[in-house]
Structure 1
Amino acid sequence: MSGRVVNYYDDSIECKGYLSLPESSKSMPLVLVAHTWKGRSEFEDQKVISINSLGYAAMSIDIFGSGVNGGSVEENQTLIEPFIKDRQIFRQRLISAVEFGKTIEGIDASKIALIGFCFGGLAAIELARSGYELSGCVSFHGLLNQSDEPFQKVNTKLLVLHGDKDPMVSSEQILALQDEMTESDADWQFISYGNTYHAFTNPAAKDIEMGTVYNHDSDVRSWTAMSNFLEEVFSNVNK
């Protein structure tokens, strides 16, 4: 495997991703990894390597641009705010990463998925909402903030992996998302893990007051669910 930092663009905004491809003589699927509200970090880059072990190419993407990282809760909130408020900008930034992914040598452009964590989980849902067609989207403990922006016909399969005790997601938001996906006649799944808080896949999450707590069992179970989902969507292209 050869991992490297790659630059790609959304109009004039330079984004910095981390790309790694297993050795293969054939074109392979690509999994894009969307970051938390901190920005692209070692956490997402390590997920890239883990995805390689499943036999897929992977790239952690840069939604904020310029490789920016937040250093506090306040900075993180400031970084995500423009994308929460303007979903068109959010969607276009994600689509630019997918379009770049299609141009990478060794990638099967018909087999691209996006997964994301926390803010990146919302990114996975928002990309599905955009109507853009790709193999699949997976949200890990994603924010479910609704917007006034009309959603398009959902053309990609969606898997949402949620912690039942996540304080950042209300039951109303869950129902609203499910109603939205059903109304769009989407192919969607929603798995809720009991006794599980926000950020349950991050071993560094240990803040019970904030509601961010790692859960080993839910981490393993959700990764297995994602792996099975990717195997399905990559074997059912154009269906």
Structure 2
Amino acid sequence: MTTVSLRRSIGDLTFDHVLVSPQDPGGDGHDAPTVLVFHGMEGRSDAQLAIAQRLTQWGHRAIAVDLFGETVSAGGSQRCADEMTAFLADRGRLAGRLSAVLTALTDAPEVDRDAMAAIGFCFGGLCVLDLARAGHPLRAVVSFHGLLTAPDRPGDGAIPARIAVHHGWDDPFAPPEDVVALGRELTARGADWQLHAYGGAMHAFMAPFADQPERGIQYHPVVADRAWRALGDFLGEVFAPRS
């Protein structure tokens, strides 16, 4: 695989996205689908980059998206946590950031804007759902142990992206009432959606470093493997050649 920086500026902020591409001995690879990988509270991280690298095994390009910007990331974990909290308190501002970042990335010549999906973890799971709610041109979005609540103005038109949600049933940050509300919301907007709820799984079940069960945060290797295999099947369906 190859890894290159896709550094982009939005206003006076700089964002260091990282593009990971599979080896392509038969051509230039520009026809490969692109999967955007959205980070959680920690900002753009090595764990997120590892997910992007795994996606290349399925023949996809992947971009580890920097949603907070280099200045925030350089400020450490507390600065990143504060940035996430500010975005959660102002979903309109978050929508603006998501739209600006997506526009900057789709302008990259390496990206096929007609074959794009987005996946996200924790806060990133919320972000990809908000991208779908806003009607951005994505084939699909996949949320892993994401926050599920709708923004104040989620929209009311049809949602074009296919949606898959992977949820730990014992996740205290997304209680059952949020799950039911999401299902009703997506159904009302005519979305093609699916939900995978995993018994015995807490928040951050995909993250090997998660180990705070007293807070409802814990890695679950069996569930993580199930969710990853389900992602592969879903992306294979989404990016299947159109007849």
State the TM-score, normalizing by the size of structure 1: 0.92
Deviations 1:55-106 (A, max 9, x none): 000011111122633645x544411123212223222322333333333334
Q: Are the counterparts in 1 of residues 141 and 164 from structure 2 also a CA contact under 8 Å?
A: yes
Q: Does 1:215 align with 2:215?
A: no
Match of 2:200 in 1: 195
Residue 38 of structure 2, aligned match among 34, 38, 44: 34
Alignment coverage as a number of residue pairs: 237
| Cross-structure match for 2:211 | 206
Alpha-carbon distance, 1:196 to partner: 0.4
Q: Which runs of 5+ in 1 are unaligned?
A: none
In the aligned structure 2, how far is the partner of 1:55 from the partner of 1:85?
37
> Whole-Å Cα distance in 2 between the matches of residues 139 and 59 of structure 1?
16
SS in 2 for 1:107: coil
Partner residue of 1:7? 7
Structure 1: distance between partners of 2:92 and 2:156:
12
Question: Which deviates more from structure 2 when the two are superposed, residues 95-104 or residues 118-127?
Answer: 95-104
For 1:38 and 1:141, locate their aligned partners in 2 and report how far apart those are by CA, in whole Å.
15
TM-score, length of structure 2 as denominator length: 0.90
Query: Structure 2 counterpart of 1:92, which letter?
Result: G
- How many percent of aligned residue pairs carry the same amino acid? 34
In 1, Cα distance between the equivalents of 2:188 and 2:11? Answer: 33
Secondary structure in 1 aligned to 2:48? helix
**Within 5 A, what are the aligned runs for 1:15-26?**
15-24=15-24, 25=27, 26=29
- Aligned partner of 1:168: which letter? F
Does the C-alpha gap of structure 1 residues 58 and 134 become closer, same or farther in structure 2, counting only changes over 3 Å? Answer: same
Which residue in the other structure is 1:175 paired with? Answer: 180
Give the residue type in structure 1 aligned to 2:88: I
CA distance in 2, matches of 1:18, 1:170: 33
1:189-234, CA deviations, whole angstroms, 9 ceiling, x for partnerless residues?
A: 1110110011001111111111111111110110111111111111
1:66-215 to structure 2, matched below 5 A, reads 66=70, 68-69=72-73, 71-72=76-77, 75-153=79-157, 154-215=159-220
